[in-house]
Structure 1
Amino acid sequence: MDTSAQLTPYELSGKKETTTYNQAIQYYTDLIKNFPEARLLSYGSTDFGKPLHLLVLSADKNFDPVKIRKDNKRILLINNGIHPGEPEGIDASMMLARDLLTQKALPKNVVICIIPVYNIDGSFNRSSTSRANQNGPLAYGFRGNSKNYDLNRDFIKTDSENSQAFQQIFNTWQPEIFVDTHTSNGADYQYTMTLIPTHKDKLNPILSSYLTGSMLPSLYAGMKKLGYEMIPYVNSVEETPDAGITGFLESARYSTGYTTLHNTIGFMPETHMLKAFDKRVDATYKLLQTYIQVVSRDAEVIGENKRKADLATAAQKEFAVDWKLNSTLYDNIEFKGYAAKQKPSEVSGINRLYYDRNEPYTKTIKYWNTFEPAVTISKPIAYIIPQAWEKVVELLKLNRVTVQRLQKDTEIEVETYYIADYKTAAKPYEGHYIHSAVKLNPVNQKIKFYEGDYVVYANQPVNRYLVETLEPQAMDSFFNWNFFDSILGMKEHFSAYVFEDTAAELLKRNPELKEKLEKEKISKPELAKSAAAQLDFIYKNSDYYEKTYSRYPVARLINDTQLMLK
C-alpha cells in the first residue's frame, strides 16, 4: 500500500492547513476500502443538505451497536468541527484512525466512533479571519451553520437538522464516553490543552466518583507524560487568571450537558488558540489516544457504572434542574501562566492588557468548582402531553423516551402548573427570546384528555432528559426555549360596560368573592382607586376567566391512576 496516499491533507500541507469537508469524507472513503475493521455510515441530513457521517472502528468487524453492547464492549464517540473554526479534532481524528488501522492497534473491548465534521455548513464557509485571535491554520470554517446557529447551543431546542442527525447517532450508539473537540478563547498561559469534563456535581454520583477518582487523574497524568501538561479550562473570575478560575457548568444546550442527561461522561477538550496549529493538533491527537487507552483499561468498570447509573436514574425521585456556584468552597491548584501587564495602546493611547511571555510563572491560584442545586423538583408518576405538542413528543422519542397514548377520552386528576412569573431576554439568543427565573403556581385539577394524548412514565433510564426538558424551571427546559409561548397569551377578555352588570351580579350571588375583593382592596389601596382593576379582579376570580391562560400544557400525574393506554 502506498504510504503517501494515506497522508492527510493536513500532513501534506506541512501541517499548516486543515482538511476541508470534502477532503475528509474522501479520505475516510478511501481508507475504509483497505480495512474491513472500518466502516463509514451516514445519518439523516444537515441544514446544508448533506448527511452526517460516522466512521466506526471495530476490531472484530462488528458494526451493530445492539450486538456491541450485548458483547459488553464500550463505545467512545468523538465529535469534531461543531465549531469548524476550531478544527484540530478533524485533522487529529483522521491521523488517529489511520494509525489505529495500519498499526493494528484497535482495542478489542472498545468501538471508536468518529463524526468527521459535525457543522458541515460552517466548514464550507472558510476564511482566515473569522477567529481574529487564533494562530492558524491558514483557513478554516465558521462558527455558525447555514442558519447561523451555534450548534453547541442546539442540543435541546434542536432547531437544526444537524442536531436531529446527531441525536439519532447518539441514541443509536449510546456511547459511555463522549469527546467534543474545541479550541479556546481567553487568557494567555503556558498550556496547549485545557479540559472541560462533564461537571462532577451534575453527573450521576456513581459516574462522578469514577470520573474524579480515576478517569481525570489518568488523563492528566497521561498527557503530562506525553509532554502536554493540562489544566482545567481557564474560566477566569476576573480579566486574568491570577484571581482564580471557576468550573464550567455546561447546561443541557451544550453537547456535554446533553450527554449528561443520558448518563454519558462527556469531555470538551479546548486547545489554546495562540499555540501553533501543529502543536494544537498534536495535543488533540495525543489526548484522543489517551482516552482510548483509559477507556480500554477501564472498560469493565465503565460499563458497570453506566448500568448502575441508568438503574438509579430510573428509580430517582428528586432532580436538581438549576444550579449555583458555591463561592465559599475552592481548591488551590498550580497554574502556569504569563505575567499580565499594562502598556499604552498603539490604537487608543490608553493602557491595555498584554501577557508577557518573557515572564512565565508558576503560582497557586484558587479554583472554584462546586455547584449546588438551586432548584430541585420531585418527579411525577408520569407526564401527560396533549398530542398538539408534536415536536416535544418527537424529541422525546428521538431520545429513547418510551411514550404511550390514551385509548379513549379520559378525565384525569393531575397537578398542573400556572406560569406565575418569568423573565425574557431583551434580545434573541440563538433564534429565541429565551426565558429564565420561572416561578410556578401548582394546582391540582381534573382535566379532560383525549384519545391519542401522550402519557410518559417517569421510570426510565432517560429520566434526566425527560425531567430537564419538561419541567419549566430547568435551565434548558422546552418552556425556556419558547416551545410553549402560545399559552402565555389570553384569547378572550371582556367589554367593561357589559361586564359591569355581570360583575355586580356575581358579587351579589357570591359573598365569598365579595369578601375576597374587599380584602384585596384593603391590602392594595391602588386597587380600591381603580374601577378597571376591580372589574379585572372579579373577572379573574370567576368562571368567565379562561382556565388555560398561562397553564403549562404538560400535566403531572401524581396519583397512581389506572389509565387505558395503547
Structure 2
Amino acid sequence: MFTLLLASLMTLAPTLPGTTPAWRTPFENDPAGNTTATYAECVAYYQKLAAAYPAHLHLAEAGPTDAGQPLHEVVLSADGDGDPASTRRKNRRILFIQNGIHPGEPEGIDASMMLARDLMQQKSLAKLLAGVTVVIVPVYNIDGMLNRNSTTRVNQNGPAQYGFRGNARHLDLNRDYIKQESRNAQSFAALFQKWQPDVFVETHTSNGADYQYTMTLIATQHSKLAPALGSYLQGQLLPALYKSMEQKKWPMTPYVDFEGQTPESGLRAFLETPRYSTGYAALFNTIGFMPETHMLKAYAPRVHSTYDFLLTMLETVGHQAPALAAARAKAATDMAAQTTFPLTWALDEAHAETVQFRGYEGKMKPSEVSGQPRLYYDRAAPFTRPVQYFNTFKATTSASRPTAYIIPKAWTEVADRLRRNGATLEPLTREVTAPVEVYYFEDFKTTPKPFEGHYVHSQVRLQTRTETATFQPGDLVVYLNEAAPVRYLMETLEPQATDSFFAWGFFDSVLQQKEHFSDYVFEDLAADLLRRDPALRERLEKLKKDNAAFAANGPAQLEWVYLNSAYHEAGHNRYPVARWLGTGRL
C-alpha cells in the first residue's frame, strides 16, 4: 500500500523542488504529470542547456538515424572536457545513459532532461561530476518517437501520448546491437566505441505481472561477465543500488520474469545476449543495466523513480570509482590471457537465492469476454514473502581462441561491422597458403517465421576440419591480440554463438548448392567412383546395412556418393571465415 500512496502523491507534484518555471520540462509543466516531451521539445531543451552552461554541458550530433534526424550526444563534465581519451587520463569513470530505444517507454527521456538540468543548476549535485563524466543519448529511436500515438502501449498507464516501439524500418532496436542494420545502431556503435563506458544504462518500461514495485531492474548477467566484474557487480554495485533506492523510497526487485502463473513460482534472471544493449555492452567489459518501471503505475512516479535511479547510479559510480576501475582493469588483463570463451548459456536451475518479493495475490474470476477463468491481481491483497530467484547461468557451448580469423574480402557487410565495433582488419598484401581450421555445417535449427527481418539460426552443429587453404591479396585478417575486442570477435564470428553473424543469416548463401547433377548422367560416374574407391564403397554399404530406409532409397544413395565426391562444390555448407592457429603473423 505504501507504493500506491507514494504514486498518488507524486502524480500531484511532478515538479522537482527549486525548479524555476523557465526550466521546467514538458513533463513538469503538466499538473497531472502525464505528458512526455516530443522529439522537438527534447532537442530544444538540451540546446537551451548547452547554450546556458557551455563550460559543463556539450551537445553534438553523433551520426545519422533511419529517420533522417541525427543521433545526439550530450556530455556533462566538471570542466567541459568532452574528449574520451582526456577523460580517461583524468581517471574519471564514464556513465553512459541511453533513452527512448522504445519511445513508448519514455520515462528516461523526461528524467534525463531533468537530471541534466539539475546537475548544471544544483551545487549539491554538480559535485558528482568531479569523478564521473556522464554521456546521455537523449533519444535513440528518433524514428519511433516521431511516430507519436495514444494506443500502441495498450497495457500501459500513461503518458497521454508517446512514441512507437519500432523504428522507421519497423525494427526493434533492442534486437539490433549485433546485426546493426539500422543507421541508429551504426551510429550508436561508433559512439559507444568512442567512449568505452564503465557503466551503461538504457531506460525501459516493463510489461507482465502486477506487483507493488514501481522500479524493477535488469543487470548484466553476472555469470556472463568476466569473474572480476561479476564479483564486483554482485558484491558491491548491486547491493549499493538496491540500498540507495530503498532509502529514496523506491524499493526495487529484479526484473519480474517467471514461468509459472504468478511471480511466486520463482523469478528467473533475464539472459541478455548480445542482440540486447546490456549483452552488447558486456562484450566490452562494460556493466549494463536496464531499469524497467512498471507499466501500471502512473506516469509521474515512473519518471521520478527513473530520475532517482539515474541519480543513484551516478552517486554510486562516483563512490565506488576505485573498485569499479580495478574490476574493469582486472577483467581486461584476464581476458587478454583467456583461451576459451563461452558462446551459449542455459539457466542453472540447481542454484537459486531468495528475495523478499512485494506482490499482489493472483486470483481467478470469470472473463467478461469469454466466460472462461481469467487471471487478475488483487491490489487489496498485497503481500511480502520469500520467492526463489534463479540468477545463475552456465555455459553450454564454448570455443577456443584462435590466433586470427581470416575473412574473404567478399564479405563486406561482416567486415564493415567488425571495423565499426573496434576490430582492426589487415588486408593481405600477397597470396598466402596456410593450414587453417574450417567449419562445415552439419545441422542447425531455423525459426519458422522471420524475427526482426531474419530467419534466425540456432543449435548449430559443426564439423571442424584442418585444411591447407589459399587466401588472396585483399582478404582480411583480424588478430585476436590484447588490443582486439576479443569477446566481441568470438561471439560474432564463431557460428555456434547465440548472436553470431551466422545466426543472423549473414552467411546463408553458403547453405545452398549452386551446382548439382542429372541422375541418369551421374549414375555411371557414381558407379565408376565406387569401383575406383573401395573405401567409399565400404562406407556406402555400411550405411545401407545400418539404415533400412536409406538402403531402399536409390536417389538418397546417389546423393550421398555425390556429396562425398570431388564433384560436390567445395563451398557448400563451408563457413567462409577460417581460424588460423599459427604463431606470429600471416
Residue 538 of structure 1, CA deviation: 1.8
Instruction: Tell me which of 530, 534, 538 is aligned to 2:561.
Output: 538
| SS of residue paired to 1:44 | strand
Q: Does 1:339 align with 2:356?
A: no
Percent identity between the aligned chains?
A: 52
* Aligned match of 1:207: 229
Structure 1 stretches lacking a partner, 5+ long: none
Map 1:298-377 → 2, pairs under 5 A: 298-377=320-399
Residue 175 of structure 1, CA deviation: 0.5
> Which digits, 9 at most, give the CA deviation of each residue in 1:479-522, with x for residues without a partner?
00000000000011111222222222222222222222222222
> Which digits, 9 at most, give the CA deviation of each residue in 1:535-554, with x for residues without a partner?
22221221111111000000
RMSD of aligned C-alpha atoms? Answer: 1.3
101-110 vs 216-225, which moves further: 101-110
Tell me if the contact between 1:380 and 1:558 (Cα under 8 Å) persists in the aligned partners: yes
Q: Does 1:3 align with 2:3?
A: no
> Which digits, 9 at most, give the CA deviation of each residue in 1:298-342, with x for residues without a partner?
112212222221222122111110001111211121011111111
Alignment partners' CA distance in 2, 1:534 and 1:553: 28
Q: Does 1:42 align with 2:64?
A: no
> Which digits, 9 at most, give the CA deviation of each residue in 1:383-421, with x for residues without a partner?
110011111111111111122121111112101000100
Instruction: Tell me which of 95, 101, 118 is aligned to 1:99.
Output: 118
Q: What one-letter code is carried by the residue in structure 2 that aligns with 1:441?
A: Q
Q: Does 1:402 align with 2:424?
A: yes
* Aligned match of 2:37: 19
Residue 562 of structure 1, CA deviation: 4.3
Alignment partners' CA distance in 1, 2:157 and 2:553: 65
Q: Does 1:74 align with 2:93?
A: yes
Instruction: Tell me which of 236, 249, 252 is aligned to 2:274.
Output: 252
Residue 561 of structure 1, CA deviation: 6.1
* Aligned match of 2:13: none
Alignment partners' CA distance in 2, 1:102 and 1:478: 46
Tell me if the contact between 1:192 and 1:283 (Cα under 8 Å) persists in the aligned partners: yes
Alignment partners' CA distance in 2, 1:337 and 1:530: 60
* Aligned match of 1:471: 494
Q: What one-letter code is carried by the residue in structure 1 that aligns with 2:25?
A: T
TM-score (norm. length: structure 2):
0.94
Alignment partners' CA distance in 2, 1:138 and 1:531: 67
| SS of residue paired to 2:64 | coil
* Aligned match of 2:15: none
Q: What one-letter code is carried by the residue in structure 2 that aligns with 1:13?
A: D
| SS of residue paired to 2:454 | coil
Alignment partners' CA distance in 1, 2:370 and 2:568: 61
Q: Does 1:138 align with 2:160?
A: yes
Alignment partners' CA distance in 2, 1:530 and 1:212: 58
Q: What one-letter code is carried by the residue in structure 2 that aligns with 1:185?
A: N
Tell me if the contact between 1:153 and 1:254 (Cα under 8 Å) persists in the aligned partners: yes
Alignment partners' CA distance in 2, 1:513 and 1:206: 53
Residue 128 of structure 1, CA deviation: 1.3
* Aligned match of 2:245: 223
- Residues matched between the structures, number: 563
Q: What one-letter code is carried by the residue in structure 2 that aligns with 1:544?
A: Y
Q: What one-letter code is carried by the residue in structure 2 that aligns with 1:470?
A: L
* Aligned match of 2:105: 86
Instruction: Tell me which of 483, 507, 512 is aligned to 1:489.
Output: 512
Alignment partners' CA distance in 2, 1:13 and 1:541: 72
Alignment partners' CA distance in 2, 1:530 and 1:137: 64
* Aligned match of 1:57: 76
Alignment partners' CA distance in 1, 2:228 and 2:206: 30
| SS of residue paired to 1:366 | strand
Instruction: Tell me which of 50, 67, 70 is aligned to 1:32.
Output: 50
Distance 1:62 1:512, change over 3 A: same
Q: Which contiguous aligned blocks of 4+ residues in structure 1 show a shift greater than 6 angstroms?
A: none
| SS of residue paired to 2:336 | helix
